[in-house]
């Protein structure tokens, strides 16, 4: 068979899993965090729009609070979202890790790249999403967007009695540390294997791939991809949205 007659490879399709099943305990009392509003729109809808803004993303799987799947479906129906993107909603689990696994299990065949993106990072710019996808397309099994740290970080020995001072045991070299964001991007088979293999609780998906012995690569993150975790983060998110409205001229 000559080179010209070889069938061209199937285009790589990208799906995004958005874990949105957390309570948001650190944000304080109220509705589940992903359903709280920023400038009148639920945080989850901002996050879904941010991922669907990438033309590469053809499917978004939202992992809803366990008893909130119907509410999330109604929210997706009620808000304008790109026609080119399909949406699925599945109920989540007890931990972020379990919720991501439930989202992965719901992915239909045909998507070779999977992004995992916190609903709690509603303002990630599309350029960051695209940079992650591009690095996976270029062959990395796992990609994380990350930023250098502004603070010096200390490793401590946790106090034996709550309230006691914690002794510092080390000061890691800051220049080698990065604060990791989402979306994290994966070759799908790698992410599935990581979730099947790693059983202890971890705080991000890329660390599961590290445990498989594979290399995770970093692309530049973005300040606006910060995670809404504590009440002050809501103030920052509103300020970012206000600045965007000003820049867009309305």
Ligand X SMILES: C[C@](O)(CO)[C@H](O)COP(=O)(O)O
Out of 4, 6, 8, 25, the residue judged to bind ligand CTP by CB under 6 A = 25
Q: Rounded CA gap, 240 and 250, in Å?
A: 14
Question: 133 or 206, CB closer to ligand X?
Answer: 206
Q: Is 68 in the site for ligand CTP (CB under 6 A)?
A: no
DSSP three-state, residue 43: helix
Q: Rounded CA gap, 198 and 189, in Å?
A: 14
Q: Is residue 196 within 8 Å of 120, Cβ to Cβ?
A: no
From residue 114 to residue 143, the character string flagging contacts with ligand CTP as x (rule: CB under 6 A) and all else as - is ----xxx-----------------------
Q: Taking the complex as a whole, how short is the minimal distance between the CB of residue 120 and ligand X, in angstroms? A: 7
Out of 86, 94, 127, 155, the residue judged to bind ligand CTP by CB under 6 A = 94
Q: Is residue 240 within 8 Å of 224, Cβ to Cβ?
A: yes
Please name the residue ranges forming H helices in 106-230: 126-137, 188-197, 205-211
Q: Rounded CA gap, 20 and 113, in Å?
A: 20
Q: Taking the complex as a whole, how short is the minimal distance between the CB of residue 80 and ligand CTP, in angstroms? A: 22
Out of 12, 41, 95, 207, the residue judged to bind ligand CTP by CB under 6 A = 95
Q: Taking the complex as a whole, how short is the minimal distance between the CB of residue 11 and ligand CTP, in angstroms? A: 29
Q: Taking the complex as a whole, how short is the minimal distance between the CB of residue 74 and ligand CTP, in angstroms? A: 18
Who contacts 53 (Cβ-Cβ below 8 Å, separation ≥6)?
Answer: 82, 126, 129
The phi, psi pair for 111, rounded to 5°, reads -115, 115
Q: Is residue 19 within 8 Å of 119, Cβ to Cβ?
A: yes
Out of 15, 16, 17, 21, the residue judged to bind ligand CTP by CB under 6 A = 21
Out of 227, 233, 236, 240, the residue judged to bind ligand X by CB under 6 A = 227
Q: Is 221 in the site for ligand CTP (CB under 6 A)?
A: no
Q: Is 204 in the site for ligand X (CB under 6 A)?
A: yes
Q: Rounded CA gap, 65 and 20, in Å?
A: 7
Q: Is residue 238 within 8 Å of 38, Cβ to Cβ?
A: yes
Q: Is 23 in the site for ligand CTP (CB under 6 A)?
A: yes
Query: Pairing between strand 155-156 and 168-170?
Result: antiparallel
Token couple for 223 = 């300040």
Please report which helix (H) or strand (E) contains residue 64, including its range: strand 57-64
Q: Which residue is nearest to ligand CTP (CB)?
A: 22
Out of 18, 75, 118, 228, the residue judged to bind ligand X by CB under 6 A = 118
Question: 13 or 227, CB closer to ligand X?
Answer: 227
Q: Is 180 in the site for ligand X (CB under 6 A)?
A: yes
Binding footprint of ligand CTP on the chain (CB under 6 A)? 19-26, 33-34, 63, 92-96, 99, 118-120, 227, 229
Binding footprint of ligand X on the chain (CB under 6 A)? 96, 118, 180-182, 203-204, 227, 229
């Amino acid at each position: 068979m000559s080179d010209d007659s070889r069938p061209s490879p199937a285009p790589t399709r990208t799906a995004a899993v958005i874990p949105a099943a957390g309570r948001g305990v650190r944000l304080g009392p109220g509705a589940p965090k992903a359903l709280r509003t920023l400038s009148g729109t639920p945080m989850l809808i901002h996050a879904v729009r941010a991922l669907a803004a990438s033309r590469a993303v053809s499917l978004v799987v939202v992992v809803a609070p366990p008893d909130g799947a119907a509410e999330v479906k109604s929210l997706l129906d009620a808000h304008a979202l790109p026609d080119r993107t399909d949406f699925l909603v599945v109920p989540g689990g007890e931990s972020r890790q379990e919720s991501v696994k439930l989202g992965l299990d719901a992915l239909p065949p045909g998507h070779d790249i999977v992004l995992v993106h916190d609903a709690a990072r509603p303002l990630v710019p599309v350029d960051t999403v695209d940079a992650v996808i591009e690095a996976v397309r270029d062959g990395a099994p796992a990609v994380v967007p990350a930023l250098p740290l502004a603070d010096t970080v200390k490793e401590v020995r946790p106090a034996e009695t709550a309230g006691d001072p914690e002794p510092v045991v080390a000061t890691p070299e800051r220049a080698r540390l990065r604060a990791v964001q989402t979306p994290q991007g994966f070759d799908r088979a790698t992410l599935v294997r990581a979730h099947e293999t790693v059983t202890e609780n971890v705080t991000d998906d890329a660390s599961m791939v590290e445990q498989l012995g594979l290399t995770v690569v970093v692309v530049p993150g973005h300040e606006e991809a910060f995670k809404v975790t504590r009440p002050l983060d809501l103030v920052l998110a509103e300020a970012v949205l206000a600045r965007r409205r000003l820049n867009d001229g309305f």
